[in-house]
A and B are shown apart, each in its own frame.
Chain A
Amino acid sequence: MSPTTHTPDTPDTPSGRRPPSMLRRPAGRRPVPTRTRLRTRRIPLLAYIAILLVLPVAVLVTARAAGWWVTSGHVLPATALGAPDAGGGSGEGSGEGSGDGGANATIGSPHDIKGSMTVQQVLDAFPAVTAADVYQQFGVAADTPASTQLKQLARDGNGYEVSDLREWIETQT
């Protein structure tokens, strides 16, 4: 096939013929020279893309296998109020999250309460608190299921926030 002048980005010629397989450098164009001290080897484009798409999947599968794939701050309510040494999630700092292990953490203090927890989880962790108290604080109906998440109560209620509940429970215990 004879060389032709380069025409940018033309997949097909108007006549329907296949585009030329060789391109001629436009007259007057002087590409900037290249220079590298590296020993380089070209990677096939498709292989490069495939590797980079598989790589994060491999990392995440490994993380999941190692029990690191925890996407929420759900806390197990295994610890009743006053139980000694609540474990990984029993942080003193109110600004801290799920901590080591995430889902395996437990509630040690009101600061561990999260919006993703259900009312029942709070009741299990703090026996001194009743469901009626919680519903009253949030200003929601008394027949709300105990399986409702606290953030849902905050959404449906009178503006009472989960942080307010933490402070209130602290005063109750």
Chain B
Amino acid sequence: MTTTDERPPAATVPRRSSTTARRIRLARYSVQAAVIGIIGWQIFQAFTADGSGPEGLCPFGGFETMWTWITTGRTVRHVHPANLALAAAVLAMAVAGRGFFCGWICPFGAIQGAIHKTTSMVVDRIPPLRRWRRRAHRVTARPGGLARRLDGIFRYGRWLVLVWALGGAAMTGVMVFRDVDPWAALISVAEFEFSLAFTVLLVVLVLSLFVRRPFCRYACPLGAVQGLVAKISPVAIQRDAASCLGCDLCNQACPMNIPVNQRTRVTDSTCLGCLECVLACPSDQALGVSVGLPLPALRVPANDRD
């Protein structure tokens, strides 16, 4: 498909099947549940002192040890070769699908999403809460408002955390991020240790009630790594204005608040690859995943436009 500015918007567009959207969402939730199940099983095994624990299943550990591994051939403490293999898998996914790992596999993102979704479902059923949410949304969604500005500033936090985590691990040989890592606290929850990381975990879980994926937005260094790698990805969600209804449903569906209906290709580093915008789009042709090569675009012949 070639997108140009020249095709006039169609008066009518084909409708997307809602059955397909439901099935794809079900597949995503199933994958996330399976991953959480595997991690939960590892935590259980570690608790019974028979297993190795879920630390070996964290891809960010692979990135934290990367410098040490390249320069010395060894890994920093708490990191194992499996972490490096997972980091390689995440890199491959970032090239092929940008933030697909975050949207489809990351268990911590799934937990945050589930908390927010559950809260939304509860609020939907209680009219006073629904009205309060509507008022809050009017304030927070105001373009150029304080909430939007703060959201934009806090999003730089991911890069700061990334530099600190990788730089600290490279310079000291210790996983400095581990002391505040909410995921590390969650997988060690069986040890009942009230640490700084556990406090961060609680803050993230509480924030998830009000904000969609707060840790992913403001602090996740793994998401930042993928955002960097995704710069070379030829794959992206692409919008076709000729089929776009301008309904804003894609914007509302995006958990990272990306203004999808103002993009031609969604190349934002915060994109989770969850495909919620595509699934929410009522038009069959307006949003889809496309692979793009840096070649001159072909003009669509006039008789092929419809």
On A, residues with C-beta under 8 Å from B are 3, 6, 8-9, 11, 19-26, 29-43, 45-46, 48-49, 51-53, 55-56, 59-60, 63-64, 68-74, 91, 93, 95-102, 116, 148-149, 151-152, 155
Contacts and interface: CB of A to CB of B under 8 A. Distances in A.
Interface stretch (B107-115, B120-128, B276-284): B276-284
26 contacts: A6-B247, A21-B15, A24-B12, A25-B11, A34-B241, A36-B292, A37-B294, A39-B2, A45-B278, A48-B235, A48-B289, A52-B97, A59-B88, A68-B82, A68-B85, A71-B52, A71-B80, A71-B82, A72-B56, A74-B52, A91-B74, A93-B173, A96-B72, A96-B173, A97-B78, A99-B74
**Interface majority SS (helix, strand, loop, mixed), chain A:** loop
Interface stretch (B134-142, B149-157, B204-212, B261-269): B261-269
B13 A98 contact: no
Contacts of B65: 97
The listed residue with most B CB atoms (<10 A of its CB), out of A21, A35, A46, is A35
Contacts of B10: 25
Given A8-B282, A34-B241, A70 B82 contact: yes
Nearest to A35: B5
Given A68-B84, A95-B172, A102-B80, A56 B247 contact: no
A49 B75 contact: no
A33 B9 CA distance: 9
Contacts of B298: 39
A52 B104 contact: yes
Contact of B76 (A11, A29, A42, A95): A95
B105 interface: yes
B76 A96 contact: yes
Contacts of B9: 25, 30-31
B244 interface: yes
A102 B73 CA distance: 11
A73 B61 CA distance: 13
Contacts, number: 233
B291 A41 contact: yes
Interface of B: 1-5, 9-15, 18, 20, 24, 27, 31, 49, 52-53, 55-57, 65, 68, 72-82, 84-86, 88-90, 92-93, 96-97, 100-101, 104-105, 172-174, 235, 238-241, 244-247, 249, 261-262, 264-265, 273, 275, 278, 280, 282-283, 288-298
Given A25-B13, A26-B245, A56-B92, A70 B80 contact: yes
Nearest to B169: A95
A49 B88 CA distance: 19
A43 B238 CA distance: 10
